[in-house]
Amino acid sequence: MLTIDNLGIDLQEFSLREISLTVEKGEYFMLLGPSGGGKSLLLEILAGMIRPDSGTISLEGVDITHLPINRRRIGLVYQKPALFPHMNVFQNIGYGLRGLTRGEKSARVGELAEKMGISGLLQRHPGTLSGGEAQRVSLARMLAVSPHILLLDEPLSSLDKDLRDDLKGILRTLHRDGQTILHVTHDYEEAFSLAQRVGILHRNDKGVSRLVQVDEPRSVFDHPKTRFVARFVGLKNVFEGTLATGGDTEDLCFTSNRAEQGSFYIHPGNTHCGTALVMIPENQVRCSFQEPSDHSVNCLQGEILDLAPTPSGVEARLGTTPELTVLLQPDTISREQLHVGCGIWADFDPASIRILSQTGESPPSTENVSPENRT
């Protein structure tokens, strides 16, 4: 088990602060965040390449905060494999094996090469390998020394789709065999296919990065705690604001913290007044070129700001208040009439809005909000 307690480091224009995390033995954990958030820096601190300014790191119950790299039993694999160019694949994999007979070393290298699917490459040199082959060799070299935990720094990002899928299969096999893995990436889709839990690292506008949420991948997607997390995992139409009673309607009035995002109505369900993070699903917004006749409480007028064809329809960004991203289907609106700048109406059911998180803090009452003042 890896335990990180209140870890921190201050660099000239960047800081990691108050990083506390536990990765269980045999767990596949992913650390996610955009570029420049400190993910790779944290791996290098864990591997012993950089000393933290504060906090502790324990592995299997032993404090390794100040142990040298070669005594940590941690393997770090970078995005770009750093293989020894003058050694062949066999020599690269076996480099860290000490105290073994020639036969034992050959057997260990052969076992790992078979597991990585590179048995036919053992006499090749790194300069003759593809990116996917080199990454497998790099993994095998780290696994040769039986690390307690394997650290992966965006190992899939430089590979094409087929090679990524192949390497994902290898990583799943390693995990099933009991290998503890801490994998950093900026791609949330990788988390759904590999990770048991994820942590989201956020760098604020002051250059300070902190862990803002740790949970199972599906739970983070369904219940992000902040607007940053919601947008990072791919949710759109996400708004922070307050919920309050809405005058003569049973629906609650949501008012965004930012004036340009306006207000709209939400079906109460199990929600209550207070601050909230909400999301309007893009496939639940109805669009037309004429004002809807059903007098929807959430009816917005605007123009199309941008259009992007997708395999499942046309994604449109609308200059409404709030600004919305919607997915237009061919059977609901004519593609021939769509163009940037054309006027459009959008409406959505108050019951379709998702409440992502609430604090329970009640805002001032807005009972004076009348239907005439609805957005």
Report pLDDT for 103. Answer: 92
pLDDT tens for the chain, 375 residues long, are 999 999 999 998 889 999 999 999 999 999 999 888 899 999 999 999 999 999 999 999 999 999 999 888 899 998 888 899 999 999 999 988 888 888 999 999 999 999 889 999 999 999 999 888 998 999 999 999 889 999 999 988 878 888 888 889 999 999 999 999 999 998 888 888 999 999 999 999 899 999 999 999 999 988 888 889 988 888 889 999 999 986 667 788 999 888 778 889 998 877 888 899 999 988 889 888 888 877 678 999 999 999 988 887 788 999 999 999 998 876 666 666 788 998 999 999 999 998 888 875 544 333 333 333 333
The pLDDT of residue 4 is 95
Structural domains of the chain, count: 2
Domain end residue (candidates: 187, 212, 232): 232
Pairing, β 354-358 against β 313-318: unpaired
CA nearest to 216, candidates 201, 235, 199, 203: 199
Domain with 14 in it: 2-232
| Cβ atoms within 10 Å of 205's Cβ, excluding its own | 5
Clarify whether residues 257 and 337 are in a common domain. yes
Measure the CA–CA gap between 229 and 299, rounded to whole angstroms: 28
Same domain, yes or no: 171 and 253: no
Total-model pTM? 0.83
DSSP 8-state symbol, 69: G
343 and 363 assigned to the same domain: yes
pLDDT for the residue 364: 39
Which of 209, 232, 255 finishes a domain?
Answer: 232
Residue 261 pairs with which residues in a beta bridge? none
Please report, for the domain that includes residue 205, its CATH number.
3.40.50.300
Q: Looking at 232, 258, 275, which one is the last position of a domain?
A: 232
SS3 352: helix
245 with 205, same domain: the answer is no
Give the containing element (helix H, strand E) for 171. Answer: helix 161-176
Same domain, 228 and 282: no
Whole-angstrom Cα distance, residue 181 to residue 205?
A: 30
> What are the strands, taking DSSP E only, across the chain?
2-10, 15-23, 28-32, 54-59, 62-63, 74-77, 149-153, 180-185, 197-203, 208-215, 238-246, 249-256, 263-266, 274-279, 286-288, 299-310, 313-318, 324-328, 343-347, 354-358
* Same domain membership, residue 326 and residue 203: no
Residues 313 and 329 in one domain: yes
- Beta-carbon count within 10 A of 76 CB: 23
Same domain, yes or no: 6 and 135: yes
